[in-house]
Structure formats: structure tokens, C-alpha cells
Amino acid sequence: DPPLSYGQKSEIHNKLSDAFDYGKKTNEYAASILNHIKTAINNLPLMIFRIMLEKQKMKFFAAINNNNIVALLA
């Protein structure tokens, strides 16, 4: 095998360094995605509550607009 020149060593170092940076960025990206998922899961009960509340408000206002007192009691 021919001896490695300085340029070749430097090139190998750069490739490894790039690969390491890419791996680091991939880990950061994965951690960021997991945090978004955790936040969404933690907010899920609140989101469900808001949707249910909105549906009740819509029923309430529809009943009032139609002067339908019986619908308010349902």
C-alpha cells in the first residue's frame, strides 16, 4: 500500500467529521420530534375538552336561535 499523504488523512478526517455532525444533527432532530409529540400528547385532554365545549356552545346557540327551549334541556 502506498503511504497516506497528509491530504488524504485530512480528507478522511473531514469525512468522519461530517458524518459525526450529521449524526449529531439527526439526534437533535429526533429529540425535537419527540418533544413535539410529548407536547401534543400532553395537550390532548385539553384539546378534547375544548372540542366538546365548542360542540355544546354550538348546540346552545342553535337552540337559542331557534327559540327551542326543549333542545336546551337535552
Question: What was the pLDDT predicted at 10?
Answer: 80
pTM of the model: 0.50
Q: How does 59-74 read in b/e, with b if 16+ C-beta sit within 10 Å?
A: eeeebeeeeeeeeeee
pLDDT of residue 61: 85
Could you report the per-residue pLDDT of 16-74, keeping only the tens digit for each?
898 889 889 999 999 999 999 999 999 999 999 999 999 999 988 888 887 776 766 66
